[in-house]
Amino acid sequence: MLKLSKNQVGTNIKQEDHKSFKIIGDAPGQRVGRVLLVFFIVSVGVMFLPWTQNIRANGFLTALSPDKRPQSLHSIIGGRIEHWYVKEGDFVHKGDTILHISEVKEAYFDTLLISRTFNQVNAKREALESYKQKVTALENQILSLDRTRENKLAQAANYLLQAKLKVQTDSMEIDAARTRLTVATDQFERAKSLFAQGLQPLNEFEARNMRFQEAQARMVAAENNLLTSRNMVLNAEMELMTLENEYQEKLAKSRSDLFSSLTMQYEAEGDLNKLQNMLSNYRFRGDLYWILAPQDGYITKATKTGIGEMIKEGEEIVTIMPGDIEIAVEMYIRPIDLPLIRPGNTVRFLFDGWPAVVFSGWPQLSFGTFGGKVVVIDNFANEKGMYRMLVVPDPNDIPWPEALRVGSGAQGIALLRNVPMWYELWRQLNGFPPDYYTQK
């Protein structure tokens, strides 16, 4: 059997004539060789099959629009729970009352707080109107004083001008009187000399003497008139200055009263604005006693329960899940995979609770997966060094299950370039990243 003997008899035996040789002729070793040959041929053929490069990432279901994601409803003010109008699982519409709270701060305990504040606002508004009227009256008074001042000063200026003209007239009169006195003096001296020589009668001498004395009297009268006129000028100037100072003082006092009234008016306006602000805050706070639904959705979780429980300012009360949402998957990819993903890339999903048979390299042979399209990729990494992207249902693929809920897990397979299988094995063995993929 082992053919160790030098004397071989196999050449003298015809194996086809013996049944035993026919039974054992197809040895197991030959069958294994054939199987290996077939396996090798099949393996070589498989190496040339197409393979879809992909990136795997885990994620969870969320809403594409931020205002459609689960949100917590908080109380703007502190209070005490008085009554619940909903229970968990109820669907509420925007504006529906969820619960009612009562006041807990003593500053707002007064049941007539709004009406009394409203009365204060009206009183302050009346006071403000009085200040405005007083300001108007003082402005009119200042205008009247200013007009009166102008008239008085114009009158005094005319009087001064008249006095100055009177001085000019009296100056001219004294010049004429001085001329007449000179002439009368010369005539009197000649008459006196002629009377002393006896050449002129006494009556003519006396007449010349009388005219000389009259000229002297006129000269004195003219000098007195000039002094009087000059005194009138001084008095007119003093009167003008007195009037100016008097009206300046009156105007200064009126302007001071005006500024004081304006100050009180502005203070009243400030107080009125404060009171109006307080009144608006009181009314708005009264509306905050009723916690309303901000949008349509389901009541999913109440963090505060019971009646009489205290709620702090800004504390979470209940969680609302919007009803009509556009669902998406929030996935996180590594920085090394970020350059390979573009908006519009295709992603296959395995959702929690939905069985699937997956061949990641042959998505066309997979069963139970759902298609999606990348719509958003963040430009910054989170605290774990991962980049977030949002994927929505592919409109050209089968619809996602209606029973999916926000928060459910999802495993995504981002599909990249189609390459031969030998190339993908070579890439994996060398640790190279997938090829860059350009979306057409």
> In this structure, are 175 and 309 located in the same domain?
no
Question: Which domain does 80 fall in, by range?
Answer: 70-103+289-322
Between CA 209 and CA 93 the distance in angstroms is 130
Which of 287, 313, 345 is at the close of a domain?
A: 287
Between CA 127 and CA 312 the distance in angstroms is 40
**pLDDT digit string, tens, across residues 282-303:** 888 888 889 999 888 888 888 8
pTM listed for this prediction: 0.55
Which of 265, 287, 309 is at the close of a domain?
A: 287
Q: pLDDT at position 435, please?
A: 56
Q: pLDDT at position 273, please?
A: 93
In a domain, 30, yes or no: no
CATH of the domain at 172: 1.10.287.620
- Give bridge partners of residue 310 from the DSSP assignment: 80
> In this structure, are 283 and 253 located in the same domain?
yes
CATH of the domain at 307: 2.40.50.100
> In this structure, are 388 and 265 located in the same domain?
no
> In this structure, are 305 and 336 located in the same domain?
no
> In this structure, are 303 and 360 located in the same domain?
no
Q: pLDDT at position 436, please?
A: 47
In a domain, 413, yes or no: yes
Which of 287, 305, 339 is at the close of a domain?
A: 287
Query: What is the strand order of the sheet 97-102 is part of?
Result: 290-292, 97-102, 79-84, 310-311
The residue type found at 421 is: M
Number of domains into which the chain is organized: 3
pLDDT tens across the length of the chain (440 residues): 455 555 565 566 665 666 665 555 555 555 666 777 777 777 766 666 676 667 778 888 888 888 888 888 888 888 898 999 998 889 999 989 999 998 888 888 888 888 898 899 999 999 999 989 999 998 999 898 888 888 888 888 888 888 888 888 877 877 787 777 787 777 777 777 776 777 667 777 677 777 777 777 777 877 888 788 888 888 888 888 888 888 888 888 888 998 998 999 999 999 999 999 998 988 888 888 899 998 888 888 888 878 888 888 888 889 898 878 888 999 898 887 777 788 888 888 888 877 765 555 555 555 567 888 999 888 888 888 889 999 999 888 888 888 888 888 888 877 666 666 676 666 666 666 665 444 44
> In this structure, are 317 and 358 located in the same domain?
no
> In this structure, are 243 and 268 located in the same domain?
yes
In a domain, 411, yes or no: yes
CATH of the domain at 53: 2.40.30.170
Q: pLDDT at position 419, please?
A: 64
> In this structure, are 204 and 257 located in the same domain?
yes
**pLDDT digit string, tens, across residues 227-256:** 888 888 888 888 888 888 888 888 888 889
Q: pLDDT at position 440, please?
A: 45
Between CA 390 and CA 375 the distance in angstroms is 6
> In this structure, are 309 and 412 located in the same domain?
no
